Amino acid sequence: MSLKYKPIDLEKEALEDLRGFIDKLLSRPSLGSSGLTGTWRLYKPSIKIDKCIKCGICWLYCPDDVIRWVPKEYPSIDYNYCKGCGICSNVCPVKAIDLIIEGE
């Protein structure tokens, strides 16, 4: 009696395991998933439109998905949900986003 080896099935199973594993690692930001920011934000980002090159990198990196942007347009920020983390400011290639003290 010979053993039946099914390498295709094994590969498929391994691939599904890998997909399941990667799925758990992926971050899926959603608008305000932790609620309105309220009054605790210390800094807020301010976009200098005259420097912005409309690249959308800030939109891509914002972990709270609060930057609105469509190709060829300037981005805008929803301050109701922005947490002031500064990531958008750090990734902007032309330094078009300043972090200013809240309330100024």
Reference 46, options 74, 70, 18; nearest CA is: 74
- Residue from 12, 13, 18, 86 in contact with ligand SF4 (CB under 6 A): 86
**Which CB atom, from 10 or from 63, has the smaller least distance to ligand SF4?**
63
Q: Are 96 and 57 in contact (CB under 8 A)?
A: no
The DSSP bridge partners found for residue 97 are 47
Smallest separation (angstroms) from ligand SF4 to the CB of 22 = 24
Size of the site for ligand SF4 (CB under 6 A): 26
Q: Where are the beta strands (DSSP E) in the chain?
A: 43-47, 67-68, 76-77, 97-101
- Return residues touching ligand SF4 (CB under 6 A): 45, 47, 52-58, 62, 64, 66-67, 75, 77, 82-88, 92, 94, 96-97
